[in-house]
Amino acid sequence: MATASVSDSREKELWRRLGEVNDPELDEPITEMGFVERAEVKGDGSVEVDFRLPTYWCSPNFAFLMLDGVRRALDQLPWSPAYAVKLHDHMFADEVNRGIEAGKTFGDIFAELAADTDLGAVRETFSMKAFKRRQEAVLRGLRQHGLTDREIVGMDLPAYDVARFEPGEAAKQKPRYRAALLERFPDHRTDGPVFVTWDGQHIPADALSAYLAELRGVRVNMEFNGALCRGLKQTRYKELDVVDGEPTLVDFIMDRVPARSAPVT
């Protein structure tokens, strides 16, 4: 019984850690996107993960950033297990899996596959989009809560922490935006407004509406790509969601939009 309890606890912790890894372009957990097809804790405590992207042609950049996130998540497991990660049905799956078996890091493997790509710049672009998407959700939530634009842009971290939302997107993104803010601007833990631009600039109250319009464009783009990726994966593996026997809008889009192969800027 104790052994089963330990196994269940480890399984939950494994999935919790994997759920903290996001698709870098979409800022959504890879577990919710369906990219982790299997994650299992074996009897000896070792871990096996099967990973599959929505298309055969997904950019190596996306694969690297997500698999590197998986590696970091597995390295944080408290029982420090040996682990095996296998990428399936991708144009670089053989190279990636051979490299992993040879003990190479994901960085070494993908440095060879994406030699001309500045992965640091790619990561920075995706971090910026995630920052903006999370921020927009909270800003809209505060407006809906009745706060004035002047109250919102003047909010500091203590005031932000006590703000409460009904269950929904704003409540979901509130802790995620806080984490993104403090990762980029650690000094805002003790000083400075909560809502600033990606470059750290103050947002005037009379400019908030225009700023929100800019953020909305980022969100719409990310939401569309999220629906596209889910649909691609469902279509590819014959797991279509059908409503009343008819194809969904995502199914219609899949027939007309080429697969994602490079970052959307």
Query: Does the 2-117 domain belong in CATH 3.20.20.70?
Result: no
Query: 170: pLDDT confidence band, cut at 50, 70 and 90?
Result: very high
pTM: 0.75
To the nearest 10 degrees (0 to 180), the angle between helices 106-113 and 93-101 is 140
Residues 34/88, Cβ–Cβ less than 8 Å? no
Query: 168: pLDDT confidence band, cut at 50, 70 and 90?
Result: very high
Residue of 34, 25, 55, 32 whose CA lies nearest to 257: 55
Segment of 68-72, 112-116, 126-130, 234-238 carrying the highest mean pLDDT? 126-130
Q: What is the mean pLDDT of residues 145-155?
A: 96
E strand or H helix at 48: strand 47-52
- pLDDT tens, 2-17? 566 888 899 999 999 9
Domain boundaries, the chain: 2-117, 129-251
The larger pLDDT score, comparing residue 148 to residue 117, is at 148
Q: Is the pLDDT of residue 253 over 50?
A: no
